[in-house]
Chains A and B, each alone.
Chain A
Amino acid sequence: MKKEDRIISSLFEDARNETPKVSFEQMAQRLAEQVPVPPPVEPTGLSAAVKQLLLKNIGLNSIILVVGVGLVYYGLRPSTPTPELSATSQEIVAEDSLSSASPILPIEQSLIQTQAVALPSPPLLSSVDLQQKSKFKPTSSSPTTPNTNQSGSINGSEPDPIETDLSSTGRDSQKPWTDSELPAGPVERSTNSTSEPISTTGGTVPMGPQSPDSPLQSNFTINEEIKIDTNETFRTTQIVLKNTYNQDATQEFFTLLSSYGFRLKKKRYRFKDGLVKNIALHLTHQEGLDFKLKAVRFRQLEFKLYFDEADQLYGFSIRMNNNQEKEEKMISLKAKGQITQQYRY
């Protein structure tokens, strides 16, 4: 070994064996001095002022609360306006009733009535048809599916591509049933799938009764929202497919889409591990829609349907995974194009 190597080894040996100049106790003491002990949290600034104000005005606050509750209660009651005042009163009631759980909104009733009077179009089904509609079952266990002619059951892991003509019953873009009955059909069905608690979007109204055993409660929701614009009154319907590993709910979803006049020329999807590995849809509509959707790895698919004053479907938008950041773009029923989405989980 060279002399310098020996020196280096000796130096490092010395460095390793050297006693520390600063003891642990010293460092602990310094740390204890430097670390500030947080005082008990006292509300300061604006929050303290608000708290004080609230405490001071307990009586006033309770009065406001009582009045507010009363207003909300009376606002939520289904109103029976006089015909001459219906135009104005219905709008107010509709706005208030958005927060209620009432399945049928007064304005919807009026819209439906208006539509029934103004547009006695053939696609509107009779009450008997509506009853049948509410009982249709698109799953393989229910062969009587009046609005679908899908052949073959969709295997959960690898379904075969299915060519589907779901509008063969002659439906157009009009809703084939009334709003109150629309979700009742699919929701009333009970399957052996697992059930989870229902989730609804705030400010939207879940339509129709939903039995707790229904797979749709966990995987498939319909939310209706009424927007009142200064120029036009229109309605949107959200059809949300969640936790898409549920076959029945997925099937319901496509069935319901087809009932709005969409024709699924191509429908292929593959599930794995609780998400859709890939999906390919080719949506068409008799108004000229030719739209292809390809998506990979997602958990939630949401279709938002836009209805005009006459309750005619005139557009839709698609959102995946409840991506709020992405601005929704309405796609016209006459549009031609395609969307490709890819998500990573």
Chain B
Amino acid sequence: MQQQKQERFLKLYKGVHNRFERFCRARACGDMPYEDLMNESLLVAFQKIDQLEKESSFLSFLIGISRRLLANHRRKQKVVAAADETLLLNYADPDDQVSRQQNVAFLHKALTFLPEAQREALILFEITGFSVKEIAKLQDSSEAAIKQRLSRGRKGLATVIKNKLQLKTGDTL
């Protein structure tokens, strides 16, 4: 019984692993190690797999658990998200042939400057590949609100990147 359950769970998880990992890396940045978040989320999801109504919504199920775990973690730690300035300075201009990993780390750090809702909406939309409708369901908001969040999030991110790049190079964009 347990074996069957585990097999079913892993079969479901295999299809969404990459997207889930990307979400956790972007979302947990500055809060907790993303591996821990993934681990805990998977464990909780495994225990509550019976509550999953549709297999197609497994990724949403996982992400919902991750969000709650992150919220609980923050509440316990009471850590004010403070971006690490030093990492931001490691941004490599995409025109240059610098490693992608460095840029991705820069993006994750830059995202931590945004408000939670905007950050999450941007991660879900741009990185995880969710639709506006799915994000609206996850965040319990209207689609219009999600679009607004995405727009404001992009603007905020642009401002952050602009400021940090100025900080690094001393030039204006």
Q: Chain A interface (Cβ within 8 Å of chain B)? A: 2-8, 10-12, 14-18, 20-24, 27-28, 30-32, 34-35, 37-38
The answer to whether B103 and A11 touch across the interface, beta carbons within 8 angstroms, is yes
The answer to whether B21 and A16 touch across the interface, beta carbons within 8 angstroms, is no
Instruction: Determine chain B's interface SS by DSSP, over half rule.
Output: helix
Distance between A51 CB and nearest chain B CB, rounded to angstroms: 24
The answer to whether A11 and B107 touch across the interface, beta carbons within 8 angstroms, is yes
> Total A-B pairs in contact (CB under 8 Å)?
87
The segment from B35-43, B50-58, B73-81, B130-138 found at the interface with A is B35-43
The answer to whether A14 and B104 touch across the interface, beta carbons within 8 angstroms, is yes
The answer to whether A15 and B127 touch across the interface, beta carbons within 8 angstroms, is yes
The answer to whether B94 and A18 touch across the interface, beta carbons within 8 angstroms, is no
Closest to B5 in A: A35
For B116, what are the chain A residues with a Cβ–Cβ distance below 8 Å?
A: none
Q: Chain B interface (Cβ within 8 Å of chain A)? A: 2, 6, 9-10, 13-14, 17-18, 21-22, 25-26, 35, 38-39, 42-43, 46, 94, 100-101, 103-104, 106-108, 110, 126-127, 129, 154, 157-159, 161-162, 173
Closest to A5 in B: B158
Residue in contact with A7 in the complex, picked from B9, B14, B94, CB distance below 8 Å: B94
Distance between A228 CB and nearest chain B CB, rounded to angstroms: 50
For B107, what are the chain A residues with a Cβ–Cβ distance below 8 Å?
A: 11-12, 14-15
The answer to whether A12 and B127 touch across the interface, beta carbons within 8 angstroms, is yes
For A17, what are the chain B residues with a Cβ–Cβ distance below 8 Å?
A: 100
For A20, what are the chain B residues with a Cβ–Cβ distance below 8 Å?
A: 17-18, 21-22
For A37, what are the chain B residues with a Cβ–Cβ distance below 8 Å?
A: 2
Distance between B6 CB and nearest chain A CB, rounded to angstroms: 6
The answer to whether B94 and A10 touch across the interface, beta carbons within 8 angstroms, is yes
The answer to whether A5 and B126 touch across the interface, beta carbons within 8 angstroms, is no
14 extra interchain contacts, Cβ-Cβ under 8 A, other than A7-B94, A27-B17? A3-B173, A7-B161, A8-B157, A11-B107, A14-B94, A14-B100, A14-B107, A15-B108, A24-B14, A28-B10, A31-B39, A32-B6, A34-B43, A35-B43
A12-B21 in contact given A24-B14, A27-B13 (Cβ < 8 Å):
no
Measured CA separation A68–B94 after assembly (Å): 89
The answer to whether A8 and B39 touch across the interface, beta carbons within 8 angstroms, is no
